[in-house]
Structure 1
Amino acid sequence: MDDVNRLGRRAIFDLKPYVPGKPIEEVEREYGITGVIKLASNENPLGPSPAALNALKDAINKVHNYPDGNCYYLKKELANSLHLPEDHFIIGNGTDEILKMLGETFLNPRERVIFAWPSFSEYDFITRLMGARPVTVPLRNFVHDLDEIARQVDEETKLIFICNPNNPTGTIVDGQDLRLFLNQIPSGVLVVVDEAYYEYVTAPQYTSAVELVKEDERVIVLRTFSKIYGLAGLRVGYGIAAPKIIQLINRVREPFNVNLLAQKAAVAALQDKEFLQQSRDVVLKGKEYLYDSFARLKLEYVPSEANFIFLNLKRDSREVFMSLLKEGIIVRTGDIFGYPTWIRVTVGTPEQNKRFIASLEKILDDRV
């Protein structure tokens, strides 16, 4: 065939493939160095829970069997933890898969999807994949502009995504503001609240949207085991919604979509409350150190309720990114979010944070 592109569905040519953070192994190969640290993808620097690792060891000899397609034990554990019936949950191969299932379940071509920008790029990807139309609303002072999002809603709007805390800024939507926002949204519009970083939040005005699920069938909450639980490599996330919504999403869910090892590790991770607190404490203390360091270096940053910080270097972030790579440190450049002088840096262990600051200070001094 002369032009194979003609075979492709028209919508896929509008897609911008997701570019993940640079892997440690790739940097070590390229630069011939060892001991590279990755502060780019908001992973848990402590790794997974010891209980999750033990669960993986116990389950490894069972991988010749298909996993439980219903994720019975994981749903049961989530139900106990969040005080909701098990029919309020859907489990996915990461929240990325759940986002895709939401698109496949609810979006028709030309319908509108509203989300803030900058925010998680997968919202745009899923919208375009389904041939729907993305409507982006700029953040106001790095925070979701809920009033403007509400004003953008029309009769063709189907979905609204709210990332709370927001990636890449780490800012939150106030619980009361979110409730008032919902009162402005028509009944035929679904509101998806992505709480990937929920476990890190300390702000008293923050309220999880899980409470709203109990009151409003339009609300869908997403969470993940990839961040504080340290299971990013296993790919497991979950959605929380009214049973009627879950039943619809299950119509497009692939059978056996969450592997056996991921299910076992996620159950164990949920039960390990001590490790969860330890992981939270590392981030809270790390943010204090980084905030103090940024103040000393006279660098602007956005106070964060997540495990990362959005930082203004006042110079080309990609140049600094390349210099940090040579120092064995991987961060995320802000140009992909429309902020070419900013970076997003994940909070690491105390040793990793100190190494990052020392390298950053050296690089900035060299460029004065």
Structure 2
Amino acid sequence: MSGVALQQLVPDYIQRFEAYIPSKPDPELKKLYGCDRLYRLNNNENCLGPPPEAQRIIQRFPPPAAAVYPSGDCYYLRTALAETFGKHPDQFIVGNGANEVITCVIKAFCQQGDNIVTADKTYAVYEWVAEFSGLEARLVPLEDFEFDDQAMLERMDDRTKIAFVCNPNNPTGSYWDTERMRAFLDAIDGRRIVVVDEAYCEFVDRADYPDGMALMEDYPNLVVFRTFSKMYGLAGLRIGYLAGSPEVVQTIRKTMTVYSVNVLAQEAAQAAIRDTEHIERTRSMVRQGKDFLGRELARMHLPVVVGEGNFMMVRLPMSDTLAYRRLMAEGVMVRTMTGFRFPNYIRITLSHMEALEALVEALQKILKPPA
């Protein structure tokens, strides 16, 4: 097929869209940057791994079971989620990572000419899915590193179908409290779907943090996203879910691809959701890391943006992409923030002390003035 013929088949909005290029596997990166070990502080993974019972399920997985299709609708996991949150199993949809359920919500409610509203500096997949679906993503600037609720309401029109709110926000860690979230939902007044992405909710230990699972009892247009990738350490198995009112979830279910979640992910997630001790261990590690990095970065006079979640942002006196390359040579991997529209910032996952100490040492080295 010639380039001209292919171009005629590709919609304009796909031609304009830039594909996301993932990083190379760790062994390739170590060869590329000449380092013999690599601390991963780039993807907000939980270095403690999955909860103990989930680990045992993974270790005991019988290889012959790989030949059998998984539950097409994650029946037992949805039942476990319903028991955990006091809802009906049909109020949950499980996907191959949260990205799949994001896509399904947009497919379920949006058509050509519609738009979504979200922040300009947040988890980018809301924007990406809208754009490669031929829809408009209306991006509202953050205000003091927080979602601007009033500005979001002002950007909405008759073709706005969905508002996406990341709470707490990745990458700034800011969050709306219960009062602010209710006021936003009241202003929407059921006229649009409101998606609240609570991917990092298990890291939050604040009395005023809103529980989306409880709020949806009063707001049937509310859809809540959660994931097993962050707190529960199952990022490699790719499993996330959404919850909502029966009517809304039934609509979204029409756009789902069955059998997309593998059997090992389903079984590990069933064990993980019940382990509250794992949450406390992880929160303790994150608090320790936050305190340590806060002190060390202050000594280095580096501004930080830190809130809820297992991450923080740091503003550097150099290009974030240059800092990435230099830190990689020291065996420390961070996330550059230019792609999040925060140039010269890096995002750091709050991990175990050995990794954070290596980061501080590496930062001191790359920021040291030349002799």
Cα pair 1:89 1:241 within 8 Å, conserved? yes
Residue deviations 1:44-81, cap 9 Å, x none?
01122221121123333311111011211111111121
Equivalent runs, 1:1-368 vs 2, <5 Å: 1-2=1-2, 3=4, 4-20=6-22, 23-61=25-63, 62-366=65-369
1:26 counterpart SS class: helix
Cα pair 1:22 1:330 within 8 Å, conserved? no
- How far the C-alpha of 1:30 sits from its partner, in A, is 0.8
AA of the residue aligned to 1:300: P
Normalised to the residue count of structure 2, the TM-score between the two structures is 0.95
Cα pair 1:18 1:121 within 8 Å, conserved? no
After superposition, the Cα gap between the structure-2 partners of 1:39 and 1:367, relative to the gap in structure 1 and judged at 3 Å, is farther
- How far the C-alpha of 1:186 sits from its partner, in A, is 4.5
1:204 counterpart SS class: coil
Residue deviations 1:205-255, cap 9 Å, x none?
211222221111110000000111111010000001111111111111112
- How far the C-alpha of 1:161 sits from its partner, in A, is 0.4
Cα pair 1:153 1:185 within 8 Å, conserved? no
Task: For structure 2, list consecutive stretches of 5 or more residues without a partner in the other structure.
Answer: none
AA of the residue aligned to 1:134: A
Cα pair 2:104 2:255 within 8 Å, conserved? yes
Q: Which moved more, 1:300-309 or 1:50-59?
A: 50-59
Aligned residues: 368
Cα pair 1:161 1:192 within 8 Å, conserved? yes
Residue deviations 1:260-298, cap 9 Å, x none?
011011111112222222112111111111111111111
Q: Which moved more, 1:274-283 or 1:355-364?
A: 274-283
Partners of 2:300 and 2:324 lie apart in 1 by: 17
AA of the residue aligned to 2:363: L
AA of the residue aligned to 1:49: P
AA of the residue aligned to 1:159: I
Cα pair 1:161 1:191 within 8 Å, conserved? yes
1:115 counterpart SS class: strand
Partners of 2:90 and 2:145 lie apart in 1 by: 36
Task: For structure 1, list consecutive stretches of 5 or more residues without a partner in the other structure.
Answer: none
Partners of 1:234 and 1:75 lie apart in 2 by: 17
Partners of 1:308 and 1:287 lie apart in 2 by: 8
AA of the residue aligned to 1:65: V
Residue deviations 1:161-201, cap 9 Å, x none?
00011111111112110100111115331100000000111
After superposition, the Cα gap between the structure-2 partners of 1:35 and 1:314, relative to the gap in structure 1 and judged at 3 Å, is same
Partners of 2:344 and 2:258 lie apart in 1 by: 44
- How far the C-alpha of 1:150 sits from its partner, in A, is 1.0
List, as ranges, runs of 4+ consecutive aligned residues in structure 1 with deviation greater than 6 Å: none
Partners of 1:172 and 1:273 lie apart in 2 by: 22
Cα pair 1:24 1:37 within 8 Å, conserved? no
Partners of 1:47 and 1:151 lie apart in 2 by: 42
- How far the C-alpha of 1:204 sits from its partner, in A, is 2.7
1:318 counterpart SS class: helix
After superposition, the Cα gap between the structure-2 partners of 1:118 and 1:288, relative to the gap in structure 1 and judged at 3 Å, is same
AA of the residue aligned to 1:139: L
AA of the residue aligned to 2:193: L
After superposition, the Cα gap between the structure-2 partners of 1:322 and 1:127, relative to the gap in structure 1 and judged at 3 Å, is same
Cα pair 2:190 2:219 within 8 Å, conserved? no
Cα pair 1:107 1:130 within 8 Å, conserved? no
Cα pair 1:201 1:306 within 8 Å, conserved? yes
Normalised to the residue count of structure 1, the TM-score between the two structures is 0.96
Partners of 1:186 and 1:84 lie apart in 2 by: 23
